[in-house]
């Protein structure tokens, strides 16, 4: 039986998730990484992407938005702007968010609005696409 390690995901809003994993896969700003028990200490920047972990032959997926990965000797801590398990994602809501963000981006460009509105809309679009792609992947 593969060794397990504890991991936690925390968000600024106080949302928490904790479990044990045999392997945890996440995309960092400089590429994909897989973490197993007794991994060397590491700190990395998480890109908006999917997080996947395996335990007892089962696979679990999360949509995760920007954050920090902290691999310690006996546990992994993830601080994420937001995260949702596959089961928490409402596909229709994510598609509406995608369309709304696209509209805001177009409006910001058309009206030459400041970069803050455009950047917020781009982040919202990226998160919506990430959620949709997690649900729609096979």
- Cα dihedral: 98, 99, 105, 108 (round 10): -140
Q: Is a pLDDT exceeding 70 seen at residue 138?
A: no
What is the percentage of the chain residues whose pLDDT exceeds 70?
A: 98
Q: How large is the average pLDDT for residues 25-48?
A: 94
Region label for 103, one of left (φ > 0), alpha (ψ between -120 and 50) or beta (otherwise): alpha
End-to-end Cα distance, the chain: 27
Digit-coded pLDDT (tens) for 83-102: 999 999 999 999 999 999 99
Domains and CATH numbers, the chain: 5-87 (2.60.15.10), 90-136 (1.20.5)
Contact yes or no for 63/131 (Cβ under 8 A) = yes
């Amino acid at each position: 039986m593969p060794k397990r390690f504890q991991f936690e995901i925390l968000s600024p809003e106080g949302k928490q998730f904790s479990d044990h994993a045999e392997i945890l896969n996440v995309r960092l700003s400089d590429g994909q990484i897989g973490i197993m028990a007794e991994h060397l200490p590491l700190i990395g920047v998480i890109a908006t992407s999917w997080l996947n972990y395996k335990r007892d032959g089962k696979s679990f997926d999360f949509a995760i938005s920007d954050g920090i990965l902290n691999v310690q000797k006996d546990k992994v801590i993830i601080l994420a702007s937001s995260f949702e398990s596959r089961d928490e994602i409402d596909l229709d809501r994510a598609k509406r968010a995608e369309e709304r963000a696209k509209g805001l981006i177009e409006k910001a460009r058309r009206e030459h609005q400041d970069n803050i509105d455009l950047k917020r809309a781009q982040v919202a679009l990226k998160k919506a696409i990430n959620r949709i792609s997690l649900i729609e992947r096979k």
